[in-house]
Amino acid sequence: MVVLDIGCGRKKITGAIGIDFSAMSDADITLDLNKERLPFEDSSVDFIFSSHTLEHLTIEGFLHVMEECYRVLKPAGQLKIVVPYFTTTANLANPFHNNNICFNEHTFRFFSSDSETDAMAKHEYASPSCPHWGLRYSANSEIGIEFKTLSVSYFYFPEYVDSSDEEKFLARSSKMNVVDQIAYSLEAVKPCPVRPETGPVGTKDDPFAFVEQQLQHINNQIAYLLAREVDESELRTAKRVVTTTRKDGSIFSVDGVLTPVNFLVYELDAVIQDLRRKIDALG
């Protein structure tokens, strides 16, 4: 098994080929990780380990190392990364860290196009604007590499170690100095898939037809809620949306406010989800 320890320092893992910037390290190979290629053939490495190294790179260097790790890993080869968690005061104060690279539970979503992940519960990563796991296409570009996140591990400050999972999640989402370091296990997906960005409307769908479906769905939701004798005042916003939405070429008007069709899809989805919650509350 071919194993690399990138940024091995003086603690190279047993049986690995050590790679580091510094000639003072235990590295077998010394090179500039920010720009030099790893001296290995494509798809020739089984496992790569990197601990407390990537945070020292430039943004360009970080992306370069990720590309090189992907290149040399075999299909389904694994990359394990350990780095300081972004929101620790020691990390932010360290002049040798590049804090333009934010390492937290979201970081490697940007190297995946999977719609979901088994690495963590959906409520731990989903947000209204980014409900899907994979964000590889968020910059509207093809980076040409894909990693599947197998697991994410957190190493907590002592005062949080015995907290429940929910308490830990809420703490690290809202406070400093909760997680000391974070570890990711990634798997190289080869060949690299080419997938459209996920979202309410697929790239091959007609967004105008999708809006018509959304408006009909809202009408159906309103009718159901009225039949269940929900107060009409609770449905005022939804009714205004469906009765005032007008199409003018490629632009829509909703209650006199102009919006492009691509964004209207998201606005209507917010109305649908609000009505969905009202329906669910009825039991």
Q: Which two tokens stand for residue 198?
A: 């996920």
Q: Which residues pair with 254 in a beta bridge?
A: 257
Residue 138's pLDDT is 81
Cβ-proximal residues to 1 (8 Å cutoff; 6+ apart), any chain: 46, 47
What backbone phi and psi angles, to 5 degrees, belong to 46?
-90, -40
Q: Decide: 48 and 80 in contact? Cβ < 8 Å.
A: yes
Structural domains for the chain: 3-188 (3.40.50.150), 207-282 (no CATH)
Extract the residue ranges of the chain whose pLDDT is less than 70.
195-205
Q: Decide: 176 and 96 in contact? Cβ < 8 Å.
A: no
Residue with tokens 């894909």: 146
Per DSSP, helices labelled H in 54-151 are: 59-72, 89-93
At 30, which amino acid appears? T
Per DSSP, helices labelled H in 85-127 are: 89-93
Q: Which two tokens stand for residue 85?
A: 């968690």
Torsion from C-alpha of 13, 109, 144, 83, nearest 10 degrees: -30
Q: Which two tokens stand for residue 60?
A: 């360009």
> Which of the 8 DSSP states describes residue 35?
T
Q: C-alpha distances in angstroms, 4 versus 35, 52, 119, 187, 199?
A: 17, 15, 24, 15, 37
Helix (H, G, I), strand (E, B), or coil: what is residue 241? helix
Helix (H, G, I), strand (E, B), or coil: what is residue 232? helix
Residue 198's pLDDT is 46
Q: Which residues pair with 187 in a beta bridge?
A: 78, 148
Rounded CA separation 52/180 (Å): 12
Helix (H, G, I), strand (E, B), or coil: what is residue 84? strand
